[in-house]
Each structure stands twice: as structure tokens, then as C-alpha cells.
Amino acid sequence: MTKEFLHFVIMMGAAKTVCLVGIFLALSLCCSSPIAHGQLTDPQEVAALLAVRSNLNDPYKHLNWTKKYDPCTSNWTGVICFLNNTDGYMHVQELRLLKMNLSGKLAPELGQLPFMKRLDFLWNHISGSIPKEIGNITALELLLLSGNQLSGPLPDELGYLPNLTKFQLDLNMISGPIPRSFANLAKVQHFHMNNNKFSGQIPPEISTLPLLKHFLLDNNNLSGYLPPELSQMPKLTILQLDNNNFSGSVIPDSYGNFSNLLKLSLTNCSLQGKMPDLSGIRGLLYLDLGMNQLTGEITSKRLSENITTIVLSHNKLNGSIPSNFSGFSRLQKLYLDDNLLSGFVPSNIWENINFTSETRLDINFAGNLLSDISGILNIPSNVTLKLNGNPVCANSIQHNISLLCGPYNGTQEALNSLNKPESTCPPQSCPIKNYFEYVPTLPDACFCAAPFGVGIRLRSPSISNFPPYREDFDAWITSNVHAKPNIPLYLYQLSVDSIKWEPGPRLRMFLLFFPEYTNDSNAFDPSEVRAIADTFATFTIPGDDTFGPYDLLNFTAQGPYSDILLPSLSRSSGLSKGALAASIIGSLICASAILVCTLIFFRKLRQRSQAEVVGNQLVPKVPMKMDGVKAFSFENLQLATNNFSVNAQIGQGGYGKVYRGTLADGIDVAIKRAQQGSIQGDKQFYTEIEMLSRVHHRNLVSLVGYCDDEDEQILVYEFMPNGSLHDLLSARYRAPLNFGTRLHIALGAARGILYLHTEADPPIIHRDIKANNILLDAKWTAKVSDFGISRLAPVSDAKGVTTAHVSTNVKGTPGYVDPEYFLTHKLTEKSDVYSLGIVFLELLTGMQPISHGRNIVREVNTACHSGMMFSIIDRSMGPHPSDCVKELMALALRCCLDETKDRPTMLEVVRELENISSMLPEPESTALELNLNTSSSGNSVRSAPSSSLYDRRSTYVSMDLPGGDLVSGVIPPIKPR
């Protein structure tokens, strides 16, 4: 018996065992399943649900709840159940009735659903009071009643819910005091009770709650004093009490002692006295004490370095503006208007801010007694500063500040706007059905897909300007929302479609989720839509310090998703009895389990015997058919290259030699022949070909075919008549290249690499970008070559098994290697950005990356810093537009920054190059049929999955072995934060 056969028999045995176990499990499931027994919802709960139903009005007939069918097994709208193995009944675990236009009252019988964990009547029109019986639902974790017309007081009984974590009653008309019994809610983390009519004193006992994080009571009629004890709450991050009337109360000094507070918002609370020293709140991000009667100086020695918002408007604060108000690096809003502040207008508040196009700082000092300006006011364009109504405005001519002294019109517009991502995908390219939208991610790549919409509102964000935080937001949402279990979404699957600031301030947003890009579907599966909806509805997204808690407003499930979230109303007509149907389904599951097992068994058998026939290795010798890639015989290629004559040879590398050849049909090709003795394993060779055959882009050299004869392994590529950029720039072949052509080459190379980073699946990090690997076709179009072609090194162990290695040794071409990769061995797309930056420098200067021991980056930096930039520009470039040259130089140097995070992404590189070429004077840009906006990906209208640090896909990398040969490997996916 051969080893293979033995292996075969063992495998068959294993398959059989698995199947038998599977059948056994399937059968036992059938026999023990409550469905098969016709087990149903606990009758007490059925009665309770019917009572709940009879108290509701359902004008749009969303609820299909009728006595005829069982709630749990016939899918009553919004009723989510589980099976309790102890009593054998199904129990209601969740009532999810979000935004169904329901009115009427909450029935006391809700208290008879003791297993319910989540009670959700968000955004309906329920009126009346909250029944005290809800206090009996011991399992209750989430009580979600926001956005109704509930009134009356809160029953004390709600304070005894031992498992409650989220208490969400905002936007109702609930009155009366906050019951002291709430101090018993040992697990509660969220009190969202804003916008009601609560009155009376905040019970100091609340401060004993060990886990409370968010205490939102703004917009009520609370009075009395602010309990000093609140500062002892170990977990409290948000205290928001705006628009209450604590008439005559002070802000207790202890409020400077909050250990974890991020946001303190006490606008318009009739507070008096001095501002406490808040220096002790180390992480404070947002402070609003505006519209009170605070007096005295602003004493805080030092507010938290990360603070985004300071509002102290409309008080009676005096003294000077503290010098420590400068130096915040994330400040977005500083309002000190309408106080009695005197002294100097500080001129350095923004000195630590690293401005980008989305950063804004809005400063309002209007209506104070400021009389002079310290230093010179040099206001960046991202900053608005208002000084009107200050004595300093009398000197406005001297200080040249008359603009700052005009009437205040603020930057509300800027704060509210969201730069929608550049969408260059024409919407009309999508199919007729109007629910399809394209995902705008990359300029050259769009796809049509049906989005699933989720409306949310950030209830108490710790920022005042969203755009700079957009990437953080996208990362937060995509890494925590799941369409498939435990798999985060790609960044390109989320589009923040609109944002709007509302009073609070709260931030309303509409999120669009797009399905993962695949070739065979442009919509989510129903299970994926449900999974996304569940994540939001169960509030399982972990909180974020910056964005705070969110309200769920709505789901927009149109087009292919319209039936998914609402059970269809006609459903009930088809069923005779839920239980009967269920048991039929149960038997079907059993039967199909057995059938599937049988099929797997036979397929294994067949596959195995085919493999046996083909050869003694399991790898099939005949590779799968690959689009556009031909298999050549060795004789074909001998003929094409005049028997691999020395005259036909055009290059040589560690892997072997490259020949120019002409195929029988007259097409010129480059033929890469592996050296004898370095033949790689079959499987890897095919993997390579298969991968290359899938990578198609006009800026990538394409694979024409391959030869796999006897001891030969040969790859055949399209021929590049203009050779490599290296040859072109090096002295020997020097042909004058004007700036337009150089820019065209730079852009082509960048687009090719961008494709590898973002559209190739799995993405590829080239890792050996250099002038030698950028080839030029007859029209001077740059084509990147040698991506993962990887002479796979023959690392064979004793048994002749070949394995691919991912070397941790940093290999690459000296002068092009990313210094951070060199130090940390961490390879990212930005390593290619660095190498491409070096190529740009070569294009501009004609220098080699390293020559006479001098490094091109240092040389160029030195020249630029001493104002000698134009002295190092390649003379043979001829006349050139200096603006464009400067821009390209700046871009190149940014690509070559030491720190990965400081470099632009390849997408940004491409965008910037496109910008520069749009600045080119006409004759230059048209000279070469630049055709810059041509999409390379042809017919499909879609968006490329945009790759980034948050991308969860594994990334294909080509890497060197210590011996200098390339191997391919897959590096583990980079985890989202």
C-alpha cells in the first residue's frame, strides 16, 4: 500500500466519522428541538403581549401580532425570543419597536415579560405614564423610550432594576423628581434623560452609582444645588445639565476633582460664584459654562492639553485671558464673549495647532474690555477671531484689525459643513434601479451597490468641528459594526452621507453602509443587514471618548432590503399553524443535513481519485484556465528568441535572464527565464501566474503567458520598447525628457502602485519600487514591473516539500528602502510611497539615489533649505514651469519623510500629481496624449476597496530571501484599532 493510498483511506475514514457525527447531531437536534415538539411561547407572556398590543394604536399596521399565531415561532413584529431549556418555553428577550408610528399607552402587563432584556419603543408617539410594573422586569438591561410623549413622574420601582445598564428616556414630557431609588441601579452606565420636565433637586445619592458614565439631564426644570458628591463618581465621563435652573447655586470646588470627566456642560444653569480650578480634570475635552453669572477670574492653572471646546460666554468673568489658553493642540472653539475680561488679546492661542484643510478654530472675544494685543496678530486662514465691542477696536487702524472688529458672523457655516468625499464616479453609470448608489472612494474606481442607511445622532460629542475627526469616526464605526460575525467592515463600506449640528449641540448623521465589493453581488445578504441593524439597536458599539453616546434614529432599508427588517404583512396567510410549519422546517433541516453530508463524502471521493489519476502529487499539473494568459511550449519560446541567443538578451537578475522575443503572431514580448537549478515549486509557480493574471492595469506590465515545460519555468510579458526609467535617466541612454513627460511617468507609476495597494485582491505591497522597475511603453506610459513576480526561492526541506518564507530580513535596493521599515521590519504601503518618492527625486534631479556615498534625500533637502532648489534640477529637462517643479519636489520630499505616518498615502500622491498636471501649461500637457483621466479598470463602475491601516484584509507582499531572491508571502491582516 502506498503512502498516498494510506493517507486516502485515513481521510475517507475521517470524512465518514465527521458525517456520522453530523447526522447524529442533526437527528438529535430534530428530536430534542422544541420546534419539533411544537413548543411555544410561555402562555403568560403571550397574554402579556396581547395586552400590550391592545393598548397600542398601530395606524400603519406594522404589527402582525394576532392571537392565532405564536409570538416567538411565527415572528411577531419586533418580538425576539430565546428558548429556556429549564422550562422548555420560548421567552421574549427583546421588544424592538423602533419608529413604527405607534401611539397609545404602555401596558402594565409589560411587567409580565420577566426575561426581557431590551425594551425599545424609540421614536413613536406613546403617551401616558411609565407603568411601575416595568420595575418587575428583573432581566431588563436596556430601557429605550426616547422620543415619545410619555408624561407623569418616574415610578420609584424603576430604581430596583438590578441589571439595567441604559436608561434612555430623553425627549419626552416626564415630570417630577429623579427618584432617590435610582441610587440602587448598580449596573447603570447611562442616564439619558435630557429634554423632559424633570424638576427638583438632583439626589446626591446618585453619586454612589459605581458605573455611571453619562449623566445627561440637560433641558429640564431641575433646581436646588449641584451635589458636590458627583465628582466622586469613578466612571463619570459626561455631565451635561444645560438649561436647568439651579438658581444661586455655585459650581462646587470638588468639580475640579473629577477623575475621568471628558465633558462638563452647564450652560444656562443660573450658576453664580467663582469658576472652580478645573486643572485637576486631566482628560477634559469639552467645557461649557456659558450663560451663567460666574464672577471672578478664570483661575484654572492649566486645562487639559487635548481640550477641543471652551465656552465661558455671557458671564461676569474679569481679569485677563489666562496665558495658558495658548498651547492647546486640538482647540476648535474658544468663546469668552460678553464678559469683563481686560488686558491683552493673546496672539499665540493657535501656536500648537497643526492646521490641515479641515481644521478650524473659532475664537470669540467680543464684548469684553480687552485693550491691547500682545505681540503681532498673525492669523492663519483656519482661524476666525472676533474682537468687536472691545476697547482695542478703537486702535484698529494701528493694529490693522478692523476686520476682526466688525459684526460677528461666526463660522457656523464651516462648522456645519462636511466636505463630501470627492466623487468622480458619475452616478448615472449605475443601473436604472434608483436605489443603487455608487460608493465614492477612489477617483478611477466606482461600483454600484445598494446601501443600507442608518440614522444616528451623537448625543453629546466632545468636539465642535467634525471633519478633522472623520477618519477616527469611520474607523470607530467600521471596526465595531459587523455584517458578518466578528469581521469588521472595510472603510470603503461606510459613507457618512450627511451631518447636521442640532441644538444640544448634538450631531445628526446619516450613515450609508455598502456591501463588500465582490464580482457577483452588489447588495448585502439579509443576514448582513440584520447584523448591522442589530449592532446599532442593541447599542453594542463600544463608547468612544470623542463621539460620546449615540441615539438611534432610523434604519433606511430600501430596494433589495425593503422586506428584511419588517416581517412581511402577508406572511400569516400562508401558514396554517406556526408550530406545524416549524416542525416541517425542522425535518427538512435534518434531511438536508444528511444529504449534504452524503454529497461531501462523494465529492471528496471523486476529487481524490481525479488527483490520483493526474499524478502522484496532489497539485494538479494542468493549471486552471486563466483569462488572457497563454501557456507556451518551450519550442515556441526558443523560436521567439532565436534559441535564447545572446543577442536577444536584454537583462539579467538573480532569477535568471530576460530576453526580447517575437512571437509567431508578430507581437514583441519580454521573456524571463528562470536559471537552471532555481526552479521553484509547482504550486508557487501557479500561484504566481494566477495572481499576475488577475492584476490588470494600464500602468502595470502585464503577463502574456508562461511556459512550464520539463525543467523550465518561464514568464512572458508585454515588451516595453522604451526600456526602464533607470536606463532613460542614466547617462548612457540620456535622451532629453521634458517636465511634462517626467510628470506623466510619475503619475503612471503612482497609479499602478495605487492599484496594487487598493484594488488588487489581496492587496500587494510592491516593496521594490525603483527606477529599474518602472518601464516605458512606446507612448512613454509608465508601467510598474516585477510586482510579486518573485523568483520563488527553492527552500526545500528534507522531504522535498517547498515552503514559502516571509523573510524578516530587510531586503530591497539600497537607496530606496523605507528607513522605518528598515528599523522596525514593519512593511506597509507607505514603504512603497517612500521608494516612489526617491524615484520622483531622480526624475527631478537626474541624480542616482546613492552616488559617491551621498544620499539623494539629504542632498535635495540641503539644497532646498538653502534656497538652491533650482540648482539641482536636471539640466536636460529644458525649460520647465517652476510652480509645478516646486510642487512635485515638495511632494517627493514628503514621500521621503522618515516617519511612516507623515508620508502621504498613494491615493494622496496620485491626487496631488493630478493637480500638478492640471497646472501644467497647455502645450506640455497635451504633448503626450496624457489622457490623464482615463479609467483603467474599464467597464465596471464601482469603487475600489480603499486600502488603509484599518483594512482587515491580508496583504500580499513580495519579499526578499536572504539570498536576494524574491518570495511571496502573506503578512497577517493589520487589525483595526
Ligand X SMILES: *[C@@H]1O[C@H](CO)[C@@H](O)[C@H](O)[C@H]1NC(C)=O
Closest CA to 331 of 300, 362, 377, 376: 362
Beta-strand relationship, 494-502 and 506-513:
antiparallel
Q: Hey, what amino acid is at 316?
A: K
Q: Which helix (H) or strand (E) holds 344?
A: strand 340-345
Whose Cβ is closer to ligand X: residue 38's or residue 283's?
283
Minimal distance, residue 385 CB to ligand X, in Å: 25
Whose Cβ is closer to ligand X: residue 356's or residue 519's?
356
Minimal distance, residue 352 CB to ligand X, in Å: 12
- Please give the angle made by the CA atoms of 464, 465 and 468, to the nearest 5 degrees: 135
Query: Would you count residue 306 as binding ligand X (CB under 6 A)?
Result: yes
Closest CA to 504 of 238, 195, 148, 289: 195
The alpha helices in 405-491, defined as continuous H runs, are 412-416, 470-480
Minimal distance, residue 701 CB to ligand X, in Å: 43
Residue from the set 87, 253, 668, 929 that interacts with ligand X by CB under 6 A = 253
Dist. CA 124–CA 122, nearest whole Å: 6
How far lies 924's CA from each of 734, 744, 915, 930, in Å? 20, 10, 14, 10
Whose Cβ is closer to ligand X: residue 302's or residue 826's?
302
C-alpha cell at 523: 447588495
Closest CA to 261 of 278, 232, 287, 283: 283
Whose Cβ is closer to ligand X: residue 298's or residue 941's?
298
Q: Which stretch binds ligand X (CB under 6 A): 217-225, 303-311, 359-367, 688-696?
A: 303-311
Q: Which stretch binds ligand X (CB under 6 A): 63-71, 251-259, 524-532, 604-612?
A: 251-259
Minimal distance, residue 364 CB to ligand X, in Å: 25
Whose Cβ is closer to ligand X: residue 91's or residue 330's?
330
Q: Which stretch binds ligand X (CB under 6 A): 300-308, 436-444, 877-885, 894-902?
A: 300-308
What residues have CB less than 8 Å from 62, skipping those under 6 apart? 77, 100, 101, 102, 566
Whose Cβ is closer to ligand X: residue 103's or residue 326's?
326
Residue 537, classed as helix, strand or coil, is helix
C-alpha cell at 522: 452588489
For 714-763, give the DSSP string: EEEEE--TT-BHHHHHSGGG-----HHHHHHHHHHHHHHHHHHHHTSSS-
Whose Cβ is closer to ligand X: residue 117's or residue 330's?
330
Minimal distance, residue 236 CB to ligand X, in Å: 15
* Residues 8-67, interacting with ligand X (CB under 6 A): none
The Cβ of residue 93 has, within 10 Å, a number of other Cβ atoms equal to 17
To the question of whether residue 604 is assigned a binding role by annotation, the answer is no
**Three-class DSSP labels, 188-250:** CCEEECCCCEEEEECCHHHHHCCCCCEEECCCCEEECCCCHHHHHCCCCCEEECCCCCCCCCE
Q: Which stretch binds ligand X (CB under 6 A): 143-151, 193-201, 299-307, 648-656?
A: 299-307
Q: What's the burial of 374, exposed, middle or buried (CB within 10 Å: 0-12/13-18/19+)? A: middle
How far lies 641's CA from each of 689, 732, 778, in Å? 21, 25, 21
Dist. CA 580–CA 70, nearest whole Å: 11
Q: Hey, what amino acid is at 563?
A: D
Torsion angle, alpha carbons of 577, 583, 585, 591, to 10: -150
Minimal distance, residue 282 CB to ligand X, in Å: 5
Q: Which stretch binds ligand X (CB under 6 A): 249-257, 607-615, 777-785, 894-902?
A: 249-257
Torsion angle, alpha carbons of 566, 427, 694, 660, to 10: 180
Whose Cβ is closer to ligand X: residue 334's or residue 916's?
334
Query: Would you count residue 635 as binding ligand X (CB under 6 A)?
Result: no
Query: Would you count residue 283 as binding ligand X (CB under 6 A)?
Result: yes
Whose Cβ is closer to ligand X: residue 279's or residue 935's?
279
58 is catalytic: no
Minimal distance, residue 304 CB to ligand X, in Å: 5
Whose Cβ is closer to ligand X: residue 328's or residue 561's?
328
Query: Would you count residue 257 as binding ligand X (CB under 6 A)?
Result: yes
Minimal distance, residue 545 CB to ligand X, in Å: 9
Query: Would you count residue 274 as binding ligand X (CB under 6 A)?
Result: no
- Size of site (CB under 6 A) for ligand X: 8
Query: Would you count residue 277 as binding ligand X (CB under 6 A)?
Result: no
Closest CA to 681 of 960, 959, 967, 972: 967
Minimal distance, residue 228 CB to ligand X, in Å: 7
What residues have CB less than 8 Å from 957, skipping those under 6 apart? 764, 765, 767, 788, 806, 827, 968, 969, 970, 971
Q: Which stretch binds ligand X (CB under 6 A): 75-83, 99-107, 192-200, 253-261?
A: 253-261
Dist. CA 944–CA 447, nearest whole Å: 8
Minimal distance, residue 307 CB to ligand X, in Å: 9
Query: Would you count residue 146 as binding ligand X (CB under 6 A)?
Result: no
Residue from the set 33, 245, 254, 388 that interacts with ligand X by CB under 6 A = 254
Q: Give the chain's end-to-end CA distance (angstroms, integer).
A: 53
Query: Would you count residue 724 as binding ligand X (CB under 6 A)?
Result: no
Q: What's the burial of 201, exposed, middle or buried (CB within 10 Å: 0-12/13-18/19+)? A: middle
The owner of cell 532646498 is: 864
Whose Cβ is closer to ligand X: residue 296's or residue 431's?
296
Minimal distance, residue 305 CB to ligand X, in Å: 5
**Three-class DSSP labels, 76-103:** CCCEEEEECCCCCCEEEEEEECCCCCCE
Beta-strand relationship, 263-265 and 437-438:
unpaired
Whose Cβ is closer to ligand X: residue 475's or residue 838's?
475
Query: Would you count residue 304 as binding ligand X (CB under 6 A)?
Result: yes
Residue 182, classed as helix, strand or coil, is helix
Dist. CA 230–CA 276, nearest whole Å: 15
Residue 591, classed as helix, strand or coil, is helix
Residue from the set 282, 470, 886, 952 that interacts with ligand X by CB under 6 A = 282
Q: What's the burial of 760, exposed, middle or buried (CB within 10 Å: 0-12/13-18/19+)? A: buried
Residue from the set 4, 157, 305, 908 that interacts with ligand X by CB under 6 A = 305
- Of the candidates 120, 337, 768, 951, the residue annotated as catalytic is 768
Dist. CA 296–CA 928, nearest whole Å: 70
How far lies 932's CA from each of 904, 914, 924, in Å? 21, 8, 13
Minimal distance, residue 502 CB to ligand X, in Å: 27
Residues that bind ligand X (CB under 6 A): 253-254, 257, 282-283, 304-306
Annotated binding site: 672
Instruction: List the catalytic residues.
Output: 768
Annotated binding site for ATP: 672
